[in-house]
């Protein structure tokens, strides 16, 4: 069954370009798990360099990046070596070699017809719960600004219980949870709010 928002993220124990690892090794951290269609492809190459460029920002947010495709470890190593040699970019995060497609299937990141992984991203919270996911077409590169923005929005909710309004960006006001009783709804109105169901709060 396809993993949904709010589900426990399926555990995996895998081989990666940084050695064997398990999802549970990262308990207490935010995990950005992203799949790419294939090694040695143009859009994916730009994305890997893009993630590498923003690696420290993810790290500062207590987040780890983990790449994934059904290509072999040998292929991943050759590709990352090529990126280093041709573009001068080190890829600092692990890339899973999911040759038997188990991880891809458990996260619904596989195109069964084509036999490759799709372009997807999952954000998993420090308790191992899936909090965010997005899919892009093979020909469309990911927006890393949006992944970081979403991670920060998730963390605002995690840390301060605030939701985020349309087009929120870090530094903008958050939204206080709605009252759950009639009495609290009236309290809001009586305190001068325009409506009982929307109240902003500076962060």
Q: Hey, which residues are catalytic here? A: 44
Range in contact with ligand BEZ (rule: CB under 6 A) among 19-27, 34-42, 67-75, 103-111: 34-42
Report the residue count for the chain.
203
Q: Binding of ligand BEZ at residue 130 (CB under 6 A)?
A: no
The verdict on 37 binding ligand BEZ (CB under 6 A) reads yes
Given the complex with ligand BEZ, which of 138 and 176 has the nearer CB atom? 138
Spatial separation of the C-alpha atoms in residues 29 and 25, rounded to whole Å: 9
d(CA 172, CA 158): 16
Contacts of 95 (CB under 8 A, 6+ apart): 16, 17, 66, 67, 68, 69, 76, 80
Smallest gap from residue 49 Cβ to ligand BEZ (A): 12
- Rule CB under 6 A: say whether 113 interacts with ligand BEZ: no
- Cβ distance to ligand BEZ smaller for residue 37 or 120: 37
| Cα-Cα-Cα-Cα dihedral sign, residues 166, 168, 173, 176 | positive
- What residues contact 100, with CB distance under 8 A and at least 6 apart? none
The residue among 3 and 38 lying less far from ligand BEZ, judged by its C-beta, is 38
In the chain, the N- to C-terminal Cα span, in Å, equals: 38
Phi, psi of 139 (to 5 degrees): -90, 0
User: Min. distance of Cβ 48 from ligand BEZ in angstroms?
Assistant: 10
Q: Identify the residue among 77, 89, 138, 175 touching ligand BEZ (CB under 6 A).
A: 138
- The 63-92 contact track toward ligand BEZ, x by CB under 6 A, reads ------------------------------
Name beta bridge partners: 13: 22
The reply to whether 44 sits near ligand BEZ by the rule CB under 6 A is yes
Nearer to ligand BEZ, 26 or 34 (CB): 34
Smallest gap, in angstroms, from Cβ of residue 37 to ligand BEZ? 4
- Regarding 43 and contact with ligand BEZ (CB under 6 A), the answer is yes
Using the rule CB under 6 A, is 42 a contact of ligand BEZ? Answer: yes
Residues 142-201 that bind ligand BEZ (CB under 6 A): none
67 close to 92: Cβ distance less than 8 angstroms: no
Residue 194 Cα distances to 37, 89, 178, 189, 200, angstroms: 48, 52, 13, 7, 11
Rule CB under 6 A: which residues touch ligand BEZ?
37-38, 41-44, 138-139
């Amino acid at each position: 069954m396809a993993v949904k928002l709010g589900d426990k993220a399926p555990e995996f124990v895998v081989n990666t370009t940084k050695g064997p690892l398990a999802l549970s090794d990262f308990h207490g951290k935010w995990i950005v798990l992203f799949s790419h269609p294939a090694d040695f492809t143009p859009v994916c190459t730009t994305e890997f360099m893009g993630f590498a460029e923003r690696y420290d920002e993810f790290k500062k947010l207590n987040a780890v990046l983990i790449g994934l495709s059904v290509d072999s470890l040998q292929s991943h190593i050759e590709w990352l070596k090529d990126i280093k040699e041709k573009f001068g970019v080190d890829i600092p995060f692990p890339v899973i070699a999911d040759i038997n497609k188990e991880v891809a299937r458990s996260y619904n990141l596989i195109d069964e017809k084509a036999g490759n992984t799709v372009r997807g991203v999952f954000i998993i919270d420090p308790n191992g719960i899936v909090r965010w996911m997005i899919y892009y077409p093979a020909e469309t590169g990911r927006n890393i600004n949006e992944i970081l923005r979403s991670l920060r929005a998730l963390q605002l909710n995690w840390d301060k219980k605030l939701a985020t309004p349309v087009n929120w960006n870090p530094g903008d006001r958050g939204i206080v949870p709605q009252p759950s009783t009639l009495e609290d709804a009236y309290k809001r109105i009586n305190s001068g709010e325009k409506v009982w169901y929307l109240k902003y709060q500076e962060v």
